[in-house]
Structure 1
Amino acid sequence: MQGEENFDFVVIGAGSSGCVLANRLSEDGKSRVALLEAGPKDTNPWIHVPIGYGKTMWNDRLNWRFHTEPEPTMGDRRIYWPRGRVLGGCSSINGLIVIRGQQEDYDGWAAQGATGWGFEDVLPYFRKLEDNPTFAGDPLHGTEGPVRVSSIPRKHELIEVIKEAGRKLGVPETADFNGARQEGVGYYQLTTRNGFRMSAAKAYLSPAKGRANLSILTDTQARRVLFENGRAVGVEVSVAGRVKVIRARRGVVLSAGAVQSPHLLMLSGIGPAEHLKANGIAVHVDSPGVGGNLQDHLQLRLLYRCTKPITTNDALNSLFGRLKMGLEYLLFRGGPLAIGINQGGLFTRVLPESKTPDIQFHIGTLSADMAGGKVHDYSGFTLSVCQLRPESKGWVRLGSGDPLAPPKITANYLAADTDRRCAVAAMKFARKLAATEPLKSYVAEEKLPGPGVTDDEGLLAFAREYGATIFHPAGTCRMGPDDDRDAVVDPRLRVRGVDGLWVVDCSVMPSLVSGNTNIPAIMIGEKAADMIREDAMNNRNGRDNAPNQINDGRTQQWLGKRELQVAS
């Protein structure tokens, strides 16, 4: 082991939450902060072009390229799980879609014992992170945050007919899936600015990287957290084949994501005791919930051949089309290159017991065998649908005691009856949408599942054979009350059983939010930064439960309206 460096805070993982923490914890100009990222700097040009999603999906340098273990509920398939391995983490390789989830998601967290995480508590942080000129003046939105949120500037013929078909099925048109009501059909907003991706690294690290008290260490892989007298005091890392120690005077924050944060805890001796012992790791804290409670959105992709040559397939399969796309982007920062894969969205209910939308569509104006794959040689589009609140839960476990060995992931998709019913109902709704005019006139044929699949049993078999992740794992270090032994962290995101150690990323979610997870991960980072600064200033026997709520006039204005609605 060679060399030591000393900091106040060490943040592990430069993803959506970690970039926020690096910025916020160093903004006092005094606290020395180290941000550790196993991957490289975000210099690859495909990171910054929105449609480059397809290029980064398989890039070994930028992507961990995990696979699940063989999934018994999915035909024993090992399902590909891409995860960001670069500054910005998954925010540098994702689909750019801006969704917060439903207000009920966060109120549900609070009801499960995550005190201080109800929607009224998190709304100020959603507003704080956002620069959304489209909804300036709306009390649910912000215009002064670091994350630029843009509307898609040009209407697409295919999305327009899908909107009309959706309205005929009772789904209202919406311009804001993050408004007072999520249900609706319309265009997504994206994390883009002037045709470029707005990753968490771009939003939070670019303005902070010149600070003398912030060190951004790329190609630096964390191996385990180090403890002395029950307190996290540093991190053992691998750099260029060497092992070194980076020490933290005030604390260590794990922001490595829902797969690697629990993995690092277990490598550090915090996790299910018997599992740790079986892998030759000394038990520091027996925490049975570490790595459990894994939830993810299962993507079911229905593929269609289009009757008109208006899809992105047509542009990509033509030399003229590619030249036109390139010129439009170079000259005007517009066109398909500036938007990405999925332009349209739809949220609705398909199960009779659901009180709020239970499925989400990602509507792609192209088609391929899998997300990020080569487009088909015909005019094609995709209706990708997922269940928003799956009941099936999987787990993350050690592959071995070797800190550089990948973790074992079991998603356990479709294990719950509710999830199977929802999958079938979701695909039936997609087919009903495709059979409704004016969209019906744009459908030449259904390529997948295909006309041979006619009953519920066939649809469920299709889901097991073709279903894949939509890249939203969560819940593996969930927060909860002190009397819940499976809650890995408390509502202030402190790891139970040790001092000076926090987890800040989607792994702390008690339950998966109803939608894409990038913006919620950034919100978690913003809220956690306030709590960590408080905890660092006050010992646990002092102002331990001090409020960490930010507010302003527009938030109070919205809350007042909400109270009136509830009262009435």
Structure 2
Amino acid sequence: MKTSFDYIIIGAGSAGCVLADKLSADGRHSVLLLESGPSDDRFWIRAPIGYGMSFYDRNVNWRFSTMPEPGLDGRKIYWPRGRVLGGSSSINALVYHRGVAADYDDWAAAGNPGWDYQSVKPVFDAFEQMVDAKDKVKNADGKLTVSDPSSSLHPMKDDFFAMCEQSQTPFDRTPSQSGEGISSYLITTRNGKRCSSAVAFLHPALKRKNLTVMTNIDAERILFQGKRASAVLCRYKGAQITFSANREIILSAGAVKSPQLLQVSGIGPGKVLRAAGVTVKIDHPHVGMNMQDHLGINYYFKANKPTLNNVLGRWSGRIMAGIKYVLRRSGPLSLSVNQIGGLVKTDPSLAVADAQIYANPVSYQIKFHNERPLLKPDAFPGFILGFNSCRPASTGTITITSEKASTPPHILGNYMTHQKDIDDVVKMARFIAKLQNTPAIQQILSAAPNTPLDAMSDDDIITDFKERCGTIFHPSCTCRMGTSIENSVVNSDLKVHDVDGLRVVDASVFPNITSANINAPTIMVAHKAAESILAETS
């Protein structure tokens, strides 16, 4: 077995698959891609609606959980993260959204030149292959297929757009991959199948002789020669094996595993490392700190007209949907459950959107230890209106408690510990109340809303939110980029401060969380990183 490579990438997720493709493309460099999970060749990964089946599947999912959250009355929050080729892009809800320009302008303003929106926009434009509702392709050379499913959405979309018009909420029936307004959500599908980062970038590269991909292999720690990252110690088929890197080791293991691997390797806050029994190589205070995530809630409604519950909630409906999917790659199994939504301002005077809205023609109530998949929604016709704050102020931590990478780290979201986030919940709940009070929504209700927002005080709204909220699955910023070790983990080239031969390339490097879903910006980050890496070899 070959054990020496130019580049070693740890993690075959949204970013790692891009890096494996880009760094191996010209054949000059040998590349090793390590993935803890299995192949993505599974029906419920390829079928878009299958993410409901992957939500608790330990075979492809890390199934993390936070510590008791002080801001949520001690509740633990379930954190699904992908452990499979494609990472979380193989098990997510497929929504594709860049966020708003201000997200990236803030990255640049934090001391990271080249990360403003005008600089990153051409990167997005290059890898996105946009397919509109009539199957017309824009940028055929783009590898990531992003589809407009608006022509296939449930008829309830018309009620949701009428809701927007009546509430004077900006909307457009033609979706966009960035900016503000309600529309149908773009999704990462190709011909009715999930187009994960693995499908888009890794699979076409697998035939290259200079790319080696290993699955079901666990990186245990990074080894150093002085301050240079030189090798990765792994466990494979029950035995330890060491792979050496001639040029660089790149951590693309995600916002949980990347900081964890740095910490077990001796790079992290000294106090945390010593408490876990790890020898401190570099006291790196921000590794695992500054975690940001989107926290949201759903409000449930019973409808007097058919919703997706009427299809997916019955054996006959599921069978017909399955046949339609197998024969034509169409129907509800080819879509995301998130059909309508986008970024809005709860107050028109705001400079940028502060809330992300979801309007889904299905209702389901997922709770930890209740493994009810999306293919078994509520027994009655129902739908959901939900929200999350775009830019939360509370920050959390990822910290090890053991020198072993196999021991899950402590995850503390610190959700709702900043007053801004508490205030945002009230504003956004009041915004949902405005939406549900429109004639468009009132006329399709068969019962009063499950949560009577109009009759609730601010304290009632906050109490309800704390009892029922959950992550929107966007952890980021735990190895954020910045100007020095005093304020960040990596520099604007994503090199770890005060370490040679080591970069972090995934959502953990975000200086601040973007306003919408994070898969799009994570893939963009990987493309920019690859350009930077290759520029140093020319």
* TM-score with structure 1 setting the length: 0.90
Are 2:358 and 2:385, in contact at CA under 8 Å, matched by a contact in 1?
A: yes
**Higher alpha-carbon deviation: 388-397 or 169-178:** 169-178
Output the CA distance in 2 between the equivalents of 1:7 and 1:176.
46
Are 1:4 and 1:247, in contact at CA under 8 Å, matched by a contact in 2?
A: no
Give the match for residue 398 of structure 1.
400
Give the match for residue 345 of structure 1.
341
Deviations 1:382-403 (A, max 9, x none): 1121000000101100032222
Give the match for residue 229 of structure 1.
226
Q: Structure 1 residues 323 and 423, CA, compared in 2 at 3 Å: closer, same or farther?
A: same
Partner SS for 2:262: helix
Q: Structure 1 residues 280 and 19, CA, compared in 2 at 3 Å: closer, same or farther?
A: same
Partner SS for 1:110: helix
Deviations 1:457-498 (A, max 9, x none): 11100111111001000100000113x612100000000111
Structure 1 residues 148-547: aligned runs within 5 Å: 148-152=145-149, 153-175=151-173, 178=176, 182-309=179-306, 311-351=307-347, 354-370=350-366, 372=373, 374-445=376-447, 448-450=450-452, 454-482=456-484, 485-537=486-538
Amino acid at match of 1:393: T
Are 1:4 and 1:244, in contact at CA under 8 Å, matched by a contact in 2?
A: no
Give the match for residue 553 of structure 1.
none
Offset of 1:426 from its aligned partner?
A: 1.0
Output the CA distance in 2 between the equivalents of 1:53 and 1:447.
27
Offset of 1:92 from its aligned partner?
A: 0.2
Output the CA distance in 1 between the equivalents of 2:349 and 2:183.
25
Partner SS for 2:152: coil
Offset of 1:275 from its aligned partner?
A: 1.2
**Higher alpha-carbon deviation: 342-351 or 84-93:** 342-351
**Higher alpha-carbon deviation: 365-374 or 15-24:** 365-374
Offset of 1:536 from its aligned partner?
A: 4.3
Give the match for residue 61 of structure 2.
63
Output the CA distance in 1 between the equivalents of 2:219 and 2:448.
46
Amino acid at match of 2:208: R
Offset of 1:444 from its aligned partner?
A: 2.2
Partner SS for 1:236: strand
Amino acid at match of 1:485: E
Amino acid at match of 2:127: L
Offset of 1:451 from its aligned partner?
A: 6.6
Output the CA distance in 2 between the equivalents of 1:46 and 1:227.
40
Give the match for residue 370 of structure 2.
none
Partner SS for 2:245: strand
**Higher alpha-carbon deviation: 100-109 or 375-384:** 375-384
Deviations 1:81-113 (A, max 9, x none): 000000000000001111001011101110111
Offset of 1:354 from its aligned partner?
A: 2.9
Q: How many residues align?
A: 529
Amino acid at match of 1:242: A
Offset of 1:157 from its aligned partner?
A: 2.1
Output the CA distance in 1 between the equivalents of 2:446 and 2:427.
23
Output the CA distance in 2 between the equivalents of 1:535 and 1:269.
27
Match of 1:106 among 89, 97, 104: 104
**Higher alpha-carbon deviation: 528-537 or 228-237:** 528-537
Output the CA distance in 2 between the equivalents of 1:75 and 1:241.
41
Deviations 1:482-516 (A, max 9, x none): 3x612100000000111110000000001000100
Q: Structure 1 residues 304 and 318, CA, compared in 2 at 3 Å: closer, same or farther?
A: same
Output the CA distance in 2 between the equivalents of 1:85 and 1:98.
20
2:125 paired with 1:127: yes
Match of 1:80 among 73, 78, 81: 78
Output the CA distance in 1 between the equivalents of 2:212 and 2:381.
48
Give the match for residue 13 of structure 1.
11
Offset of 1:346 from its aligned partner?
A: 3.1
Output the CA distance in 2 between the equivalents of 1:458 and 1:217.
51
Q: Structure 1 residues 448 and 83, CA, compared in 2 at 3 Å: closer, same or farther?
A: farther
Q: Structure 1 residues 434 and 14, CA, compared in 2 at 3 Å: closer, same or farther?
A: same
Amino acid at match of 2:316: F
Output the CA distance in 1 between the equivalents of 2:211 and 2:2.
17
Deviations 1:227-252 (A, max 9, x none): 11211111011112211101110010
Amino acid at match of 1:409: I
Amino acid at match of 1:380: G
Output the CA distance in 2 between the equivalents of 1:162 and 1:352.
20
Q: Structure 1 residues 446 and 127, CA, compared in 2 at 3 Å: closer, same or farther?
A: farther
Partner SS for 1:101: coil
Output the CA distance in 2 between the equivalents of 1:352 and 1:464.
27
Output the CA distance in 1 between the equivalents of 2:144 and 2:435.
34
Offset of 1:453 from its aligned partner?
A: 6.0
RMSD: 1.9
Are 2:100 and 2:180, in contact at CA under 8 Å, matched by a contact in 1?
A: no
Are 2:163 and 2:435, in contact at CA under 8 Å, matched by a contact in 1?
A: yes
Output the CA distance in 2 between the equivalents of 1:105 and 1:413.
20
Are 2:343 and 2:516, in contact at CA under 8 Å, matched by a contact in 1?
A: no
Output the CA distance in 1 between the equivalents of 2:62 and 2:309.
28
Amino acid at match of 1:492: D
Give the match for residue 32 of structure 2.
34
Offset of 1:155 from its aligned partner?
A: 4.2
Partner SS for 1:443: coil
Output the CA distance in 2 between the equivalents of 1:329 and 1:117.
40
**Higher alpha-carbon deviation: 351-360 or 267-276:** 351-360
Offset of 1:324 from its aligned partner?
A: 2.1
Are 1:101 and 1:178, in contact at CA under 8 Å, matched by a contact in 2?
A: no
Amino acid at match of 1:10: I
Partner SS for 1:274: helix
Are 1:250 and 1:536, in contact at CA under 8 Å, matched by a contact in 2?
A: no
* TM-score with structure 2 setting the length: 0.95
Offset of 1:154 from its aligned partner?
A: 2.1
Output the CA distance in 2 between the equivalents of 1:352 and 1:185.
15
Q: Structure 2: which 5+ runs fail to align? A: 368-372
Output the CA distance in 2 between the equivalents of 1:481 and 1:125.
23
Are 1:265 and 1:271, in contact at CA under 8 Å, matched by a contact in 2?
A: yes
Amino acid at match of 2:23: L
Output the CA distance in 2 between the equivalents of 1:508 and 1:178.
25
Offset of 1:190 from its aligned partner?
A: 0.7
Deviations 1:161-207 (A, max 9, x none): 1111112212222245546x722121011100111000000001111
Output the CA distance in 2 between the equivalents of 1:185 and 1:330.
31
Determine what percentage of the aligned residue pairs are the same residue.
Answer: 40
Are 1:351 and 1:422, in contact at CA under 8 Å, matched by a contact in 2?
A: no
